[in-house]
Amino acid sequence: MNKIVDSTNNPAMSLLLCFAHLRWDFVTQRPQHLLNRAARANRVVYFEEPLFEDATRPHLRERVEPSGVTVAVPVLPHGIADADAALRVLVDELLVDQPHGRLVTWYYTPMALAFSKHLRPDVCVYDCMDELAAFAHAPAGMKQLEAMLFDRSDLVFTGGQSLYEAKRAHHPSVHCFPSSIDARHFERARNRPGDPQDQASIPHPRIGFFGVIDERMDPDLVREVVAAMPEVHFVMLGPVVKIDPATLPQAPNLHWLGMKSYGDLPAYLGNWDAGWMPFALNDATRFISPTKTPEFLAAGLPVTSTAVKDVVSGYGEAGLVRVADRDGMVAALRASLAARSPEWLARVDAKLAEGSWDRTWLAMQRLINRVPARVAPRGILRLATPAAKESVGAR
């Protein structure tokens, strides 16, 4: 059981202030796995992108998660004159209200520098989990702000080998930390838990996918495979974002069941016969290292993927994941429905035993602790003045 540290009356604890582009209560992935563990011994604040509402003034909506992570959601009035100035004030006020020792800033998005570049932390970490500039609707200026973030960071972590290769020339201290696994959580699927109600009536055999459904999925491949395998039922879990749900293929043997909680995933996977990852091979998937790859394997499911580079090098070449192109996908999926080999499962378990989110966080923590102390005091370079606070109100 995770130990929750009460840091309320311990100002000497480090504060890890994370700037993120993902909502905390969205799909559970790298940020939640790492920061929940960081919160065992540190204050952790997860600062989300703003919500725009009919508010009278900018403010933070805060809540504390069971792990101890404080989620801070900036709420800004519609039509605010200068959103970045307002966010800067909110960050400054948050730091004043959070007594702490060492300050660690942790970035998942370079865009947060637009309102946080005045901070002078003891340690600055850029945890690069995706090539955000390659995603659909990427904000203008992403590349320029990332270059600035490289200059300011003490450490750069990457979410996979491909990202490491792409980023290591930009900073002297880049470290590869690929997607890891909470094996115990997903191993529950191997015990065939009760079938969830919205899936129970779907016939077998079942092949499933779980994760965010966006421009990284190949809808044409899904359409072709589903049509070619009418006797197999395909279950698709996850929220649809950045693409029109009306463009998703539809068929009697294709079931879009929507977003599921992290806690419920083992029950769904435990009642599938195989998994697949029908990723498009495009700019958005060039550097991905899907967290779901080891999660499928921990569940004991044979999984087939398109030729995503990190999947091929990390799992395909070892014979743990089938990798297929468009022409070979149907045959590979049919092969995955055969009885799983005990020898294959033993090799899977040996691979998964090499890492865990606990080990990943501890390795990151060691690197953070080795960053030399600053000569000059760090913290907030310049708190916003009362006049500046007044200037960021709504129009």
Report pLDDT for 3: 37
* All domains of the chain in start order, with CATH: 15-180+358-391 (3.40.50.2000), 183-352 (3.40.50.2000)
Residue 332 clears pLDDT 50, i.e. is over it: yes
| Distance between CA atoms of residues 96 and 49, nearest Å | 20
pTM of the entire predicted model:
0.89
- The whole-number average pLDDT for the span 31-49 is 97
Lowest mean pLDDT among 133-142, 147-156, 163-172: 133-142
Phi, psi angle pair for 66, to nearest 5°: -55, -30
Summary mean pLDDT of the chain: 91
Report pLDDT for 340: 85
